[in-house]
Amino acid sequence: MTLRYLTAGETHGPQLTAIIEGLPSNLELDFEALNFQLQRRQKGHGRGRRMQIETDEAQIVGGVRHGKTTGAPVALVVENKDWKHWTTVMNVEPIEGGDEAKRRVHRPRPGHADLNGGMKYNLKDLRNVLERSSARETAARVAVGAIARQFLAKFGVKVAGHVVSIGDVVAQAPNLPIDELIEQTEASPVRVVDKDAEQKMMDLIDKTKADGDSIGGIVECIIEGLPVGLGSHVQWDRKLDGRIAQAVVSINAFKGVEIGMGFEAGRIPGSQVHDPIMHSADRGFYRASNNAGGFEGGMTTGEPIVVRGVMKPIPTLYKPLASVDIDTKEPFTAQVERSDACAVPAASVVLEHVVTWEVAKAFIEKFGGDSMEEIEANVRNYLSQLEAY
Ligand code: EPS
């Protein structure tokens, strides 16, 4: 059984839509917890005006009955409240009027998908590209990941996310038990534990906004409670760390990924990189450190998964960069679109859900089964095999 999903929908269309296929039956869903994750994505210091319009909520329209999955595809929608302002511009039927009525975009923004997408799809209205490439789509990905998170939670798996840095302000590594990390980052407008860095980050975001600019950062996701052996060393596309890396760089504006010690592992000798193997009666096999970020040979080691991603500054700038009009081929300075000065705290929530999805997918591949009961039995069997090893 393969778990998969697709999303559809434009940032100013009526809704975002997602279809998830491959979830087992009898997974009890907590709808409040699902919407809580969507609300987390909307928050953070530096978010723009769009988030004041939206109150994201997932409405499940297929595959769930009386609170439990049935094994059928789960379909969900997240309404765009902003749609009411765009009913003509985004109408699926032909509309009267010219460029103004259509709000045609012919001035591509550097750093966005506008120009490449327009050229590739032969679209002279770049709105057709920007509507879909907007990070609004990450609301659908969080909704999907929130279901994966609930699935994994049934097996004791916990997920946390936090901001490592914004611009040149780096927060001190939190080094907290996962429950405390979750609690403390939740209380921070920039999702950090380090209060000194929190203030500096907020000041930097305010200054960036006042300058008409945008700023990026680095975010980290930690997943605890997974057994040894999700993913595999035997084939390139079974390596779970590789699949996570692909998923992370697919998040809007993400340009790089690190697992565990990441790029630092290329700067210091092996004796300081690799995690010594230990054994004790109560823990079984474990590692003395976790520089590998929970992966060796493309498989989970049983230590927490630690994944970082870097988000570039949002390319929609109030202080526009040079570009070229696709009609006149003349230079201009890009038109201003509403944007966020910094969406890094929100990106940490997106990262959590994107990584969680990949882990849930690997979990279902390993433990198979069409119902929760069947998967639970397979997990129990595997855990006793590990214990006897
Ligand atoms: C976003 C919705 C968007 C932006 C942002 C993320 O709203 P709108 O398209 O109406 O401006 O606020 O996306 C970008 C800035 C971008 O460049 O993609 C959201 O829901 O997160």
For a mutational test of ligand 1's pocket, the pick from 339, 349, 350, i.e. the residue with the most ligand atoms closer than 8 A to its C-beta, is 339
Q: Which tens digit of pLDDT belongs to each residue from 40-63?
A: 999 999 998 989 999 999 999 999
pLDDT (0 to 100) of residue 333:
74
Q: Which tens digit of pLDDT belongs to each residue from 84-111?
A: 999 999 999 999 999 999 999 999 999 9
Q: Is the CB of 130 under 6 A from ligand 1?
A: no
Q: For residue 300, what are the domain limits?
A: 4-388
pLDDT higher than threshold 70 for residue 126: yes
pLDDT higher than threshold 90 for residue 331: yes
Confidence label for 335 from pLDDT (cuts 50, 70 and 90): low
Strand 305-311 to 217-224 pairing: antiparallel
Q: Give the pLDDT mean for 138-144.
A: 98
pLDDT higher than threshold 90 for residue 19: yes
pLDDT higher than threshold 80 for residue 20: yes
Q: Is the CB of 9 under 6 A from ligand 1?
A: no
Round to whole Å and give the CA distance between 73 and 51: 29
Round to whole Å and give the CA distance between 190 and 185: 8
| Cα 43–Cα 54–Cα 72 angle in degrees, nearest 5 | 95
φ/ψ region of 203 (left if φ > 0, alpha if ψ in -120 to 50, else beta) reads alpha
**Protein residue closest via CA to atom 10 of ligand 1:** 50
pLDDT (0 to 100) of residue 339:
75
Instruction: Give the three-state DSSP class for 294.
Output: coil
Read off the CATH number of the domain in which 220 is found.
3.60.150.10
Nearest to 218 by CA among 306, 317, 315: 306
For a mutational test of ligand 1's pocket, the pick from 40, 134, 316, 349, i.e. the residue with the most ligand atoms closer than 8 A to its C-beta, is 134
| Cα 9–Cα 13–Cα 15 angle in degrees, nearest 5 | 60
pLDDT higher than threshold 80 for residue 153: yes
H or E segment and range at residue 219: strand 217-224
Q: In angstroms, what CA-CA distances link 35 with 56, 80, 141, 142, 327? A: 7, 14, 13, 10, 43
For a mutational test of ligand 1's pocket, the pick from 51, 89, 208, 340, i.e. the residue with the most ligand atoms closer than 8 A to its C-beta, is 340
Nearest to 128 by CA among 108, 158, 152, 110: 108
pLDDT (0 to 100) of residue 48:
86
pLDDT (0 to 100) of residue 317:
79
pLDDT higher than threshold 90 for residue 148: yes
In eight-state DSSP terms, residue 232 is -
Q: Is the CB of 136 under 6 A from ligand 1?
A: yes
pLDDT higher than threshold 70 for residue 352: yes
pLDDT (0 to 100) of residue 379:
98
Residue type at position 118: G
pLDDT (0 to 100) of residue 147:
98
Q: Give the pLDDT mean for 294-308.
A: 98
Q: Is the CB of 314 under 6 A from ligand 1?
A: yes
Confidence label for 167 from pLDDT (cuts 50, 70 and 90): very high
Residue 387 Cα to ligand 1 middle (Å)? 48
Residue 339 Cα to ligand 1 middle (Å)? 6
Residue 111 Cα to ligand 1 middle (Å)? 14
pLDDT (0 to 100) of residue 316:
79
- The rounded mean pLDDT for the chain is 96
Q: What is the 3-state secondary structure (H, E, C) of 73-94?
A: CEEEEEECHHHHHCCCCCCCCC
pLDDT (0 to 100) of residue 321:
86
DSSP codes of every residue in 105-116: --SPPTTSSHHH
Q: Which tens digit of pLDDT belongs to each residue from 223-236?
A: 999 999 999 999 99
Q: Which tens digit of pLDDT belongs to each residue from 201-259?
A: 999 999 999 988 999 999 999 999 999 999 999 999 999 999 999 999 999 999 999 99
Longest Cα–Cα distance in the chain: 75
Confidence label for 318 from pLDDT (cuts 50, 70 and 90): confident
Give Cα 188 distance to the centre of its chain.
19
CB 297 within 8 A of CB 235: no
DSSP codes of every residue in 282-342: TTEEEES--TTTTEETTEE-SSPEEEEEEEPPPS--SSPPEEE-TTT--EEEPPP----S-
Nearest atom (ligand 1) to Cα of 135: 18
Place of tokens 């901001």: 163
Confidence label for 337 from pLDDT (cuts 50, 70 and 90): low
Residue type at position 110: P
Round to whole Å and give the CA distance between 248 and 89: 32
Nearest to 29 by CA among 207, 193, 153: 153
CB 366 within 8 A of CB 7: no
Round to whole Å and give the CA distance between 128 and 117: 9
Confidence label for 334 from pLDDT (cuts 50, 70 and 90): low
Share of the chain above pLDDT 90, in %: 93
Strand partners, 223: 159, 305
pLDDT higher than threshold 70 for residue 114: yes
CB 103 within 8 A of CB 127: yes
Confidence label for 286 from pLDDT (cuts 50, 70 and 90): very high
Cα torsion through 11, 14, 15, 21, rounded to 10: -120
Q: Which tens digit of pLDDT belongs to each residue from 182-204?
A: 999 999 999 999 999 999 999 99
Residues with Cβ within 8 Å of 286's Cβ and at least 6 positions away in sequence, in order, are 277, 278, 279, 280, 302, 303
pLDDT (0 to 100) of residue 340:
86
pLDDT higher than threshold 80 for residue 320: no
Please tell me whether the overall predicted TM-score, pTM, comes out greater than 0.85 for this model. Answer: yes
Please count the structural domains in the chain: 1
Q: Is the CB of 80 under 6 A from ligand 1?
A: no
Residue 367 Cα to ligand 1 middle (Å)? 37
Burial class, 343, CB count within 10 angstroms (exposed 0-12 / middle 13-18 / buried 19+): buried
Round to whole Å and give the CA distance between 375 and 362: 13
Place of tokens 């994201």: 56
